[in-house]
Structure formats: C-alpha cells, structure tokens
Amino acid sequence: MRHDTGPQGSDGRLRRHALAVVMGSCLLFGAPRATLAFDTGPHASISLDALGRMGFSQDGQNAAQLSNWLTDYYTSQPLYASCSLQKLHFDDVFTTDDVAAYWAKFTTNAQQLARQRAAANDPVGFLVVLGMTLHVVQDFYSHSNWVEARTPNVFAYSSWFDAPRPSTNVTTGFYRNCFTDNADGHPQHGGYSGGPPAAMNHDSYVRPNYPQAYVYAYAASLQWTANMLDWAGGPNAAFVKAVKGYQASAAERALVTRDRQASLYISEWVVPFSSDPDHVDGHWNGDLSGNSFLKFSAYAVRWAAQKPESGVVRTFRDRKYFDPLSAGLYDSTIPAPPQPAMVRHAIDGDRVFMLVTRQVQGAHDDGQSFAGQISRINGPPGQRPYREAAERHRWITTLGRTTIMFAPRSQPNLELHYQVIDERSADADLLVSIRAPGQPHPTTLDFTCVFASATCAGDINGQAGKLMSSDGRKSVVAPGALVSLTATWADLQP
C-alpha cells in the first residue's frame, strides 16, 4: 500500500476527472465529469432497498442515499476536492493484506464516528455518515476482483467479513488520485468498455459480472447497516429508534427531494467538454445518457446555486465527518488496528430478480430519450420506483438496461408496474403510450412473474396473456412505443 503523501494540486490527479462550468470569466462551480464507481443509480437502489428492508423511514433512506451520492459529487469538485474524500472509494489497494488493512482502519473509524453521533444525539449526522460509509462498502464490490476471486458464476452474498479469503490475490483497480499516480503494472479501474483483468470495475449493467457485484454490495449494505446501528445503539436504544424513524421537517424534505433529483440528472447528463455526439456517456446507470454540455451545465449551475442548502448537504460538507473516516487509509506507516467484530447478516432466504428492457422503439424519430420506470406492486411498503437511465435522443434504444430487485423465497411472485418515460428535461418527463389504442391506462403495463412456473403473465393490449418467460421475450406493440422485455431470477447462495 502506498504511503499517503497528501494532496498534489490540481494537475489532473483528482480521483474524479472534473470540469468547471464557466460563465464569462467567473468560475461559478465545479461539477463531476465521470464518477467511476458504481453508477449513481445502482448506489441509490442498493442503499434504498437495504435501508427500507432494515426498517428506516423514507426520510432516513433519502438522507443516507443523498449522502451516498455526495461522496462522489464532492470528490469531483475542483473547488472543494479533498484528499480525504478521494480515499473513500476503495481504489488502488493491490494486495489481499492491504485490503484487510483498509477494512480494519475504515471499520474502526466508522465505529468511532457512529458512537460519536449517538453520544451527540445527532440522527442526521449518523445518517450522513451511514450513507458515506455505504458508498465505500458498495465500492469495494464494484471496484475489486472479489466476484472473480470467489463466485463469478453464481449469485452469492458472503461479505469480506464472512467469507474465507480467496486463494487469488484480492485487489482493486488503479485510479489516479491525490495519493497514487502510477499504476506500476496493476490493473486499471477502467470505464464502460474493456473486460477484466485489464478493466476491473463492475460499475453498471454494461460491465462484466455486474449483477453478481450488485448482489454482494446489497448484502454487504445490509450487514454494514446492522453493525452501524449496533455500534451507535449499545445501551442507547432510543437513538437507534430516532435514526430509523427520522422525520424531516416539511422544508427539509422539499430540499432533500430537490437534491435527490439533482443526483439523477447531474449523474445522467454529465459529459466532458468534447464528446462524440453519437456516444455521450452519463453515469446514472450505463452509457449513452449524457446531455449537451450547455444543458447539463445550466442545470448543474442552477442546482448548485440554490439556497438554502438542505441540512444533509450542510452536514456532509462539515469535515468533521469525512476527515476522521479516512484517517490512516493508504498510510503504511500507521499499523492497522484489529478488525472490529462484524455480526453476520445472512440473506440465504432471498432470490434475485432481474428485469431487462431490451428495446424501446418509438413510432417515429422525434428526438426521444426513453427510460423505463419499474414499480413493485407487492413490494415492501414505501418502496420507490426503479429508474433506468435514458438513452439520449435515440428513438430506438439498444442497450438492454437491467433493473435488479430482491424478494424472499417465501414470496411466490413479483407484481410489477412498468412505464416508459420520454425524458425531455428535468421538468418535463413524458409518459409514453405502450398499449394498444382504446385500452385503459395506455402508459402502463402491469404483469406478474411467478417463480414456480418461471413465467410472467399480465395485461398486454388489454388482454391477459403471456408477456415473457425466464428465457424468452415478447414485444408489446403500441402507438407510442414498442417495448421488449426479459426477466430472469435465481436463488442466492452464501
């Protein structure tokens, strides 16, 4: 592991390549160009699903998920960039022993912060720390070869803390930042293209072994959250109750809603200064969602300039949270402490379900930007829709966007509600007709996937009929768009 030499200036070594939005000669604000971690969409859905399962209120889920995104956002800020934040993405750790040292230091730091926030009776501070730490936990499974070293061909959930050490060296990819600027022959983190070992990441569904990494990250998020609550709770059960039941004021709730919308559009639309207009990558969930530089910049500047800030943003920006969390990481002169004990959180009674939008085809080319939106009708109470990334200005989509969900094996089916959005702007998402003329609810497909029979059936063109199976697909012809979907599922293993 490299010795931490501290920040090295703004010479291109920032962990997240950043761009500055300039109006006239005044530098207003820095925005992230490419957050090379799990894309924001997977980070969001993993965090929200895990915290919802753990019984957190919607306000608590939203605060932690926003903090999770801000870990990438403020890492990328040229006017705010902190070497402390650059250490919170689990990059540039090249041996199993160094991975173990990172985990021991990071877990010890997180344990201390959890107890401090409990002692201060600070539920918002705890939720911010929880979201920040969940980002790191999830990044390990996205940035490392954990999947390939353990179980690349099955859906397994045992975390770093539970599983036997693989015989293969466990490593994360190289990413240039304030403390590491030379790959020294180590595998690269990589972008959307290229396979392992040359490009290691599992950041979105376009990457190899993404579903397997997603399952590991979800299971690890459940385990991590349970242990954070244990560390904060101890004899203070009232604090855990306050954290899980956190209720924001109406004003704070509105500000967090605004900030979470920004996490979608800033991540989805982010583009470099110069891009191939036919292949502009964003980072909500997969490529081809980038918007024009001017449109992205206008939105990002407008969001960053809005006042007042939410309490979550103000709390996140306080260095008393992320500086202690990163203390000792990447510094080989500081011995790793003993690894704090981690309580196992098994989910072997679960199955993973994947819905893939293979194609959406408009009736004609009108500059559409299609994205699927999927809701679980019989899911946990308060669960929010899963939002795909739009393919910018493509009236025929081609990528096969994947939405991943979890259900207990005791649940016989999933009832799903599927819509297609034409994303015109942040303020004008249009629902697209995907059913035949004359049918009620023309913008919605409702269908049920039955696990025992490995089939999905539902309301297609106003009729009950076979929509898809676990190994096939059926197109739905409608005046607004033609939709092609597939579904697969599998039981989880340790």
Question: What is the pLDDT confidence band of residue 473, given thresholds at 50, 70 and 90?
Answer: very low
Side chain identity at residue 351, one-letter code: R
Please say if the pLDDT value at position 465 is more than 60.
no
Mean pLDDT score of the chain, rounded to an integer? 83
Which pLDDT score, from 0 to 100, does residue 195 have?
A: 67
347-378 pLDDT, tens per residue?
878 999 999 988 888 877 888 888 999 999 99
Instruction: Yes or no: say if 285 and 389 are a contact pair by the CB < 8 Å rule.
Output: yes
Partner residues linked to 192 by β-bridges: none
Which residues, including other chains, have CB under 8 Å from residue 22's CB and lie 6 or more apart? 28
E-strand ranges in 291-412 read 350-362, 370-376, 386-387, 401-408
Per-residue pLDDT tens digits for 182-209: 778 888 888 887 666 678 899 999 899 9
> Does the structure show a pLDDT above 90 at 331?
yes
Taking alpha carbons only, the member of 8, 16, 15, 48 closest to residue 33 is 16
Q: Which two tokens mark 332?
A: 């080989």
For residue 266, give Cα distances in angstroms to 29, 31, 64: 13, 8, 18
Is-contact 163 150, C-beta < 8 A? Answer: yes
Q: How many CA atoms lie within 13 A of 178 on its CB side?
A: 22
Surface-to-core class of residue 309, CB atoms within 10 Å of its CB (0-12 exposed, 13-18 middle, 19+ buried)? middle
Judge whether residue 26 has pLDDT over 80. no
C-alpha of 369 from chain center: 21
SS3 at position 327? coil
- pLDDT tens string 386-410: 999 888 888 888 788 999 999 999 9
Q: Tell whether the model's pLDDT for residue 57 goes beyond 50.
A: yes
Contact 290, 392 (CB under 8 A): yes
Residues 6+ apart with CB under 8 A from 469: 454, 455, 456, 487
Longest CA–CA separation in the chain, Å: 71
Q: List C-alpha distances in Å: 70 to 31, 236, 265, 267, 489.
A: 11, 28, 14, 11, 32
Strand arrangement of the beta sheet that strand 474-476 belongs to = 401-408, 350-362, 481-491, 474-476
**Alpha-carbon span 133 to 436, nearest angstrom:** 47
pLDDT bin (cut points 50, 70, 90) of residue 426 is: low
pLDDT average, residue stretch 292-296? 75
Eight-state DSSP code of residue 369? B
CA–CA separation, 75 and 81 (whole Å): 5
d(CA 352, CA 246): 29
| Element housing 146 (H / E) | helix 146-150
CA distance 120 to 321: 13
Distance CA 229, CA 224 (A): 9
**Domain range list for the chain:** 18-325, 350-491
Q: Model confidence at 278, in pLDDT bands (50, 70, 90)?
A: low
User: Does the structure show a pLDDT above 70 at 140?
Assistant: yes
Task: Check if the beta carbon of residue 212 is closer than 8 Å to that of residue 147.
Answer: yes
Count Cβ neighbours within 10 Å for each residue of 482-493 and write b for 16 or more, e otherwise: bbbbbbbbeebe
Amino acid 78: pLDDT: 66
Measure CA 318 to chain center.
23
**Side chain identity at 442, as an amino acid letter?**
P
Superfamily classification of domain 350-491: C2 domain (2.60.40.150)
pLDDT beyond 70 at 27: no
Instruction: Name residue, tokens 């005046």.
Output: 479
Query: What is the pLDDT, as a whole number, of residue 65?
Result: 98
In sequence order, which residues have a C-beta less than 8 Å from that of residue 311 and are 6 or more positions away? 124, 248, 252, 255
Taking the CB of residue 163, how many other CB atoms lie within 10 A of it?
16
For 442, the token pair is 């023309």
In sequence order, the 6+-apart residues with CB closer than 8 A to the CB of 358 are 400, 473, 484, 485, 486
